[in-house]
Amino acid sequence: MDRHHPIRRRLVLASTLAVAAWSGLLVGCGSDGERATTTTTTTEPPTPRDLARRACTDVLEERSEEVSRRATDAAAVLQEALEAPEEPPDQVFADVQDALGAERGQLADAQATLRAVELPSADRPAWTTVVDAVDPVLADVDGILAFLRSPDWDRRPDTVRIGAPTPDRVALHEALDGLDLLGTDCQWVYDYPGDPADAAPFHHDAAAACSMAVERRRTTGFDPSSATDADGRAEWAETADELVTVDHGTLDDPAAWERLVSDARDRAGGDAGGGAMSEVVDDLEFLGLDQRPCAALWPAAADG
């Protein structure tokens, strides 16, 4: 599966959702046409942190891979045009402007969604750091779009700075850690290019399954790098049981997912893992899950 990384990878960020239980109402009708008794399932209401995670996941699930791919392709076209000795045709700039403008819209919409989440006052500074992490990208895209509207070829090296800005990743990591959001979709909320159209159900289910494991590890304090052998085997067994339920039949090549499940089972059996960590990372990237909660399940996989 070919993964197209969005323009923001060229511009900035190189840097899980937990499945929350919600109250449900089961309403039905009896055989006589009268309304049946309503049954209410009582659960804990979602916390502000749950709402933040949900917002990040909503952003990723709504993101268009086509828009992200077009932006990536447009960035390559623009880079080539800037390095060419002659000016490109006007239509080239028009196409690039349209593609980058659409990607900017996606990122701005994502930021607006996150900004609407209300956290307790003590958490707001950290959440603001997360929300505003995309600002350098937006500013750089704005500079590119302004150049495209009125190109000044004498100043193009200074005006168009593809890949120049970078976020303060240390501050971003600290903010997510303080909010207990490391390993959630918020970690990659501006990076993920969107689910591939031909495998969106798989991506949705895989991210949800991985999120359950990530959230369980957070609540139990499980750290795969320091857990006892017994605790490690038990946790990986639960993880494998969750991952194996994911329907991966829509994938052209399911082997990568099957290897990840097998690796989790190997760890549950006391093996250090069926393959090298580099192989796990390669499989996650091949599946397009290197920027979703699944990456947080394996040590070091989420650091790339």
Q: Give the pair of three-digit tokens for residue 278.
A: 């580099």
User: Are residues 169 and 51 located together in one domain of the fold?
Assistant: yes
Residues 126-145: pLDDT tens digits?
999 999 999 988 988 998 89
The whole-number pLDDT of residue 27 equals 27
User: Are residues 135 and 227 located together in one domain of the fold?
Assistant: no
Share of the chain above pLDDT 90, in %: 55
Give a yes or no: residue 149 inside a domain: yes
Long-range contacts of 177-181 (CB under 8 A, 24+ apart): 178/123, 178/126, 179/49, 179/52, 179/119, 179/123, 179/126, 179/127, 179/130, 180/49, 180/218, 181/49, 181/52, 181/53, 181/56, 181/130
User: Are residues 251 and 291 located together in one domain of the fold?
Assistant: yes
The whole-number pLDDT of residue 207 equals 95
User: Are residues 85 and 113 located together in one domain of the fold?
Assistant: yes
- Candidate from 26-35, 218-227, 252-261, 285-294 with smallest mean pLDDT: 26-35
Average pLDDT over residues 112-118: 97
Last residue of some domain: 131, 154, 187? 187
Give a yes or no: residue 134 inside a domain: yes
Last residue of some domain: 160, 187, 214? 187
Count: domains in the chain = 2
User: Are residues 101 and 240 located together in one domain of the fold?
Assistant: no
Mean pLDDT of the chain: 81
Average pLDDT over residues 23-51: 50
Give a yes or no: residue 112 inside a domain: yes
Give a yes or no: residue 1 inside a domain: no
Q: Is the pLDDT of residue 33 over 50?
A: no
User: Are residues 11 and 143 located together in one domain of the fold?
Assistant: yes
Average pLDDT over residues 265-294: 86
* Amino acid identity for residue 86 in this structure: E
User: Are residues 169 and 281 located together in one domain of the fold?
Assistant: no
Share of the chain above pLDDT 70, in %: 78
The whole-number pLDDT of residue 271 equals 75
Give a yes or no: residue 25 inside a domain: no
Give a yes or no: residue 269 inside a domain: yes
User: Are residues 183 and 203 located together in one domain of the fold?
Assistant: no
Q: Could you tell me which of 235, 208, 223 has the C-alpha nearest to residue 300?
A: 223
Q: Which residue has the tokens 């946790």?
A: 235
The whole-number pLDDT of residue 26 equals 23
Average pLDDT over residues 1-21: 38
Domain of 179 in residue numbering reads as: 7-15+46-187
Q: Which residue has the tokens 């000795």?
A: 85
User: Are residues 247 and 142 located together in one domain of the fold?
Assistant: no
Contacts of 165 (CB under 8 A, 6+ apart): 11, 12, 136, 137, 139, 140
Residues 148-197: pLDDT tens digits?
888 776 665 555 555 545 567 888 999 999 999 999 999 999 999 999 88
User: Are residues 54 and 105 located together in one domain of the fold?
Assistant: yes
User: Are residues 159 and 259 located together in one domain of the fold?
Assistant: no
Q: How confident is the model at residue 28 (pLDDT cuts 50, 70, 90)?
A: very low
Last residue of some domain: 156, 187, 218? 187
Give a yes or no: residue 41 inside a domain: no
The whole-number pLDDT of residue 29 equals 33
Residues 58-110: pLDDT tens digits?
999 999 999 999 999 998 888 888 777 777 777 888 899 999 999 999 999 99
Long-range contacts of 9-12 (CB under 8 A, 24+ apart): 9/72, 9/191, 10/72, 10/75, 10/162, 10/163, 11/75, 11/136, 11/137, 11/140, 11/141, 11/162, 11/163, 11/164, 11/165, 12/134, 12/136, 12/137, 12/140, 12/165, 12/166, 12/167, 12/190
User: Are residues 177 and 110 located together in one domain of the fold?
Assistant: yes
pTM (two decimals): 0.79
- In this structure, are residues 7 and 105 in contact, taking their beta carbons and an 8 Å threshold? no
Q: Is the pLDDT of residue 232 over 70?
A: yes
Give a yes or no: residue 279 inside a domain: yes
